[in-house]
Amino acid sequence: MPKASHTEHGEKRINKGYTVTPTAAKLFSDMASERGLSASNLIEKIARGEIPLGDESPVNEPQPTDTDNFEKRISVLEEKVNALMLVLQQKV
């Protein structure tokens, strides 16, 4: 009997193969079992950021854009300039 196609997340699943040591395979299988998941579902959830890796940020967490970084740097520079202006005003 053929397996039913999985269409969770609106996509059909594909077969992929990865090579790991027997120890890693056992540990991964245990991780999936502890969560009540299959190994495939655990990979899916990790890849989609639904299960974070250790103390890292979730994979899908929005990252700051170059514009955000630029604006933050400008803000810090403005604060430094303002502080410097106060010091100079006190000396006059």
Task: Say whether both 47 and 66 belong to one domain.
Answer: no
pLDDT tens-digit map of 57-78: 555 555 556 666 777 778 878 8
Which three-class secondary structure state does DSSP give residue 33?
helix
pTM above 0.75, yes or no: no
* Position with higher pLDDT, 88 vs 23: 23
Residue-wise pLDDT tens digits, 25-49: 888 899 899 999 998 888 888 888 8
33: nearest Cα among 55, 25, 22, 53: 25
Burial class of residue 52 in the structure, from the number of CB atoms within 10 Å of its CB (0-12 exposed, 13-18 middle, 19+ buried):
middle
Residues 43 and 71 in one domain: no
Do 54 and 73 reside in the same domain of the chain? no
Rounded to the nearest 10 degrees, the angle between the axes of helix 39-47 and helix 22-34 is: 80
Query: How many domains is the chain built from?
Result: 2
Residues 21 and 42 in one domain: yes
Say yes or no: 15 and 36 in one domain: yes
How many beta carbons lie within 10 A of that of residue 43, not counting itself?
A: 16
| Full domain range(s) for residue 2 | 1-61
User: Based on the domain organization, do 47 and 23 belong to the same domain?
Assistant: yes
